[in-house]
Chains A and B, each alone.
Chain A
Amino acid sequence: MNLTLKVWRQKDAKSKGGFVTYAASDVSEEMSFLEMLDVVNEGLIHKGEAPIAFDHDCREGICGTCGVVINGRAHGPRSKTTACQLHMRSFKSGDTLTIEPWRAEAFPVLRDLVVDRSAFDRVIAAGGFISAPIGSAPDGNAIPIPKENADLAMDAAACIGCGACVAACPNASAMLFVGAKVSELGLLPQGQPEREPRVRAMVAQMDAEGFGTCTNHGECEAACPKGIRVEFIARMNADFVGASLTSGRREATGDGGTG
């Protein structure tokens, strides 16, 4: 098939970017979307032009490195599919594809389609963990965890940190990403001692990074390649309200229950 690509080109973070049009010809429908870009890049290199920079690594939909907006949709038209797992059979000959980087104040463009997502790491560093120094753990079966809790925690833990939720959100909110981590750790008994400080610290960092707030559009869930659900945002909000009422000071509580 033959396609027309309109690709965002930007030399570096300081330069002004713009769309450049390329023809992609003889594209096989067995190719992945990124392999199609590889072929276009080979052509550009042969012509002495700078290839299109795009982030990618595992190319099997799990590392979360790739991510571009294709015709206005983060990761392209196929639901629950990262750009690397999107195959060209999702398009037809003659299509025009507009390809852009994630657009969000908290994700500055570094070059072409490559953005800086280190804000996500800083949100995790603020509290997205269970403090369990190596060597201190009791036996793995010492604390039974109801299967339903473990399964729901795993649903949230499936997040790959790609940032599509932010790119899809009209407010560039990161609440699906943060909500997934808050929910996962909050569903596990091991996560209870730090549950309140965790949500407070992560939300504060999220705000400091310049992510917007959630106004319930649900675009994030639609764009998420791993099917993370907005119910995790609701869980985070509930935890956050509860944690805010205790305003920083932790008090001993009687219940050690989960979820």
Chain B
Amino acid sequence: MELKSNIPSGPLEKKWDKHRFEMKLVNPANKRKYTIIMVGSGLAGAGGAASMAELGYKVKCFCYQDSPRRAHSIAAQGGINAAKNYRNDGDSVFRLFYDTVKGGDFRAREANVYRLADVSRNIIDQCVAQGVPFAREYGGLLDNRSFGGAQVSRTFYARGQTGQQLLLGAYQALERQIGLGQVEMYARHEMLELIVVDGRARGVVVRDMVTGKVESHLADAVCLATGGYGNVFYLATYAKGCNGTAIWRAFKKGAAFANPCFTQIHPTCIPVTGEYQSKLTLMSESLRNDGRIWVPKARGDKRAPGQIPEEERDYYLERMYPSFGNLAPRDISSRAAKRVCDEGRGVGPTGLGVYLDFQDAIARLGKGRIEEKYGNLFEMYERITDENPYAVPMRIYPATHYTMGGLWVDYNLMSTIPGLFVLGEANFSDHGANRLGASALMQGLADGYFVIPYTIGNYLAREKFTPVPGDHAEVRAAEKAVADRTARLLAVKGKRTVSSLHRELGKIMWDHCGMARDRKGLEEGLQRIPGLREEFWKNVTVPGSGAELNQSLEAAGRVADFLELGELMCLDALERDESCGCHFRTEHQMPDGEARRNDEKFCHVAAWEYTGDGRRPNRLVEPLTYENVELAVRSYK
């Protein structure tokens, strides 16, 4: 297998324009002859399905939720970046590009990131036109705020519900196309297998989650916009249903998996309270605009926060990173929180927490203004913890939030399987080793609205298609694989529930492949995961049958895949023998504890090729070249 990035030649700022001109087009009358499958209905999926349908393609869209409006993009709180420079504070496409490349610790492709920064401006325009009620100033113009890793205000927002509003915009565009008959929507359908015919992706096998019926859908191209795989950690800010099954099935059919170990641990989540806990809740990074993060200077200081005088507090982010302060990037802030807690200065009953304090901001701006900016987040915090954050500081701790890794794609968002495109968080393309805040929404919509509509046409126009018969051997084989896996899961009839096994996997991943990693721990993880996988297939219990609404069966299939994916994450983390961004190998750090990259050996994308069950996957390499930014030590001091 070869990794051809297909980055257009020419100067950085002209690549996308040039490429768009050189792409082959499908004429309007011919577009209706093509069928495209979209799996997922978040920003990338709904956006892509709607925009391709608007062009005239026939689209079939699938989601596991009961409605496309519920995809987990909806939970993004803080905002979306765009290089509009409405603040006159020195922003530009190049600055957003530079911040994103630097934020990703120089492990992302220059050309992709530049395109992302470039179309970011169109995204805001598009969303306003759809009726997204962004925050505005009294003059009627769009408001902005700041996010981590940037020194300009370029984040557009809709209260603390930006993801919801952007998704509803994309969802409404999608529903419009459903109403017009251009999109066939299949909600409560889960993709369980990819159909590859003559080396090209031609369809999917899905399970109707209400009736249990397994059916195949065939098309000319398949797009996966199925999100990230952070639920491998069990406790995460993901929705409970988020899973890696679609991309894992594609991996096993020949799609390379890039940088699987790059997972974002978000610094500001509500700490864990007990064993039964099912998920972690994020407190938006936007809170760090006004909240100050601190812990007591003394170890084991159990006084209430209000009784700890100013001079006995350590505002450690402001102390360590004076120029970015509380808005240091996520990987750096998370590690700093872990460090102070490991020193014994953590707060709360478990000692795994730090304060996020709004007293100064309330004194400066008044409670009313804070309520206006963050009211819904404060309410959410109060509902979960029973503490009033206007009166006592929030307690927060890092949690798994996003995966920068994903299926490898070229500049056209096509994976190593021709005809299989991957959009949004499901691909690896734009964030390198760390994603900046408010950039996930940007990437999802960029891929869906402004990239895939072009690149899919270029693919379709260059290929010849004949319909795949429904009884084709590959279709039958894929259906059989699904039926066999379901039967196998139901047949174990062991003693342990799916969630108890999932929780155990999550603990292994958090301990060995979490915020800090080292060779010994990763090797231990690589030993323990196959053991747990064996335990799963010997001892899991899945009640009920495959021919009904069966939530345990759905979960079991997803966890079975996580038990394989987790191993690949550890392997990737072990082989990447350097620190970069989120990937912090304790063996490789600066004297001050910052990540020490090894550009000579690891300035590349590592993409893994499946070679068969039980066999070590192949590690392929796509070198990263930086022609427009200088490879530098990332500093936020």
* Interface residues in chain A, defined as those with a beta carbon under 8 Å from any beta carbon in chain B: 11-12, 28, 30-32, 34-35, 38-39, 42, 45-46, 48-51, 53, 55-65, 78, 80-81, 85-87, 89, 110-111, 114, 116-118, 120-121, 124-141, 143-147, 150-151, 153-154, 157-158, 160-161, 184-185, 188, 190-191
Contact = CB atoms under 8 A, between A and B. Distances in A.
Nearest to B183: A125
A130 B66 contact: no
Contacts of A160: 164
B133 A188 contact: yes
The A contact surface, by secondary structure, is: loop
Interface string B57-78: 0000000011111101011000
Given A134-B449, A153-B133, A158 B277 contact: no
Nearest to B164: A62
Given A111-B549, A134-B50, A161-B69, A59 B379 contact: no
A207 to B, nearest CB: 16
Contacts of A151: 133, 136
Contacts of B84: 140
Contacts of B133: 150-151, 153-154, 157, 184, 188
B120 to A, nearest CB: 11
Given A60-B380, A63-B65, A117-B67, A188 B552 contact: no
B289 interface: no
Contacts of A190: 128-131
B281 interface: yes
Contacts of B388: none
A64 B142 contact: no
A185 B130 CA distance: 9
Given A59-B279, A63-B74, A118-B187, A129 B134 contact: no
Contacts of A147: 136-138, 140
Given A51-B551, A134-B449, A58 B75 contact: yes
B125 interface: yes
Given A56-B240, A121-B178, 20 more contacts: A11-B548, A35-B278, A53-B551, A58-B239, A116-B66, A121-B185, A124-B69, A124-B175, A125-B178, A125-B179, A129-B173, A135-B449, A140-B142, A144-B136, A144-B139, A145-B136, A151-B136, A153-B133, A157-B133, A158-B159
Nearest to A132: B129
A133 B64 CA distance: 26
Interface in B440-482: 449-450, 453
A45 B543 contact: yes
A118 B50 CA distance: 18
Given A134-B50, A134-B51, A190-B129, A87 B383 contact: yes
- Which size bracket describes the interface of B in this complex? 35 or more
A128 B130 contact: no
Residue from A110, A114, A118, A132 whose CB has the most chain B CB atoms within 10 Å? A132
B131 A128 contact: no
Contacts of B69: 64, 121, 124, 161
A28 B273 CA distance: 10
Contact of B172 (A78, A110, A130, A133): A130
Residue from B84, B210, B279, B552 whose CB has the most chain A CB atoms within 10 Å? B279
Interface in B514-546: 541, 543-544
Contacts of B500: 42
Interface string B160-203: 01001100100111011011000001010000000000000000
Given A31-B276, A121-B187, A144-B139, A128 B172 contact: yes
B300 interface: no
Contacts of B178: 121, 125
B544 A50 contact: yes
B54 interface: yes
A201 to B, nearest CB: 9
A237 B259 CA distance: 54
A116 B67 CA distance: 10
Contacts of A42: 497, 499-500
Residue from A64, A128, A135, A138 whose CB has the most chain B CB atoms within 10 Å? A135
B29 interface: no
Interface in B93-110: none
25 contacts: A42-B497, A51-B543, A57-B70, A57-B72, A63-B65, A81-B383, A87-B384, A110-B210, A110-B549, A111-B210, A121-B69, A121-B187, A124-B172, A127-B179, A130-B131, A132-B129, A134-B449, A135-B449, A140-B124, A141-B141, A147-B136, A147-B140, A150-B135, A151-B133, A190-B128
Contact of A134 (B66, B159, B173, B497): B173
Contacts of B129: 130, 132, 136-138, 190
B66 A55 contact: yes
B179 A126 contact: yes
B274 interface: yes
Q: Which 5 A-B pairs have the closest CB atoms?
A: A144-B140, A137-B129, A129-B172, A125-B179, A132-B129
Nearest to A86: B383
Nearest to A186: B131
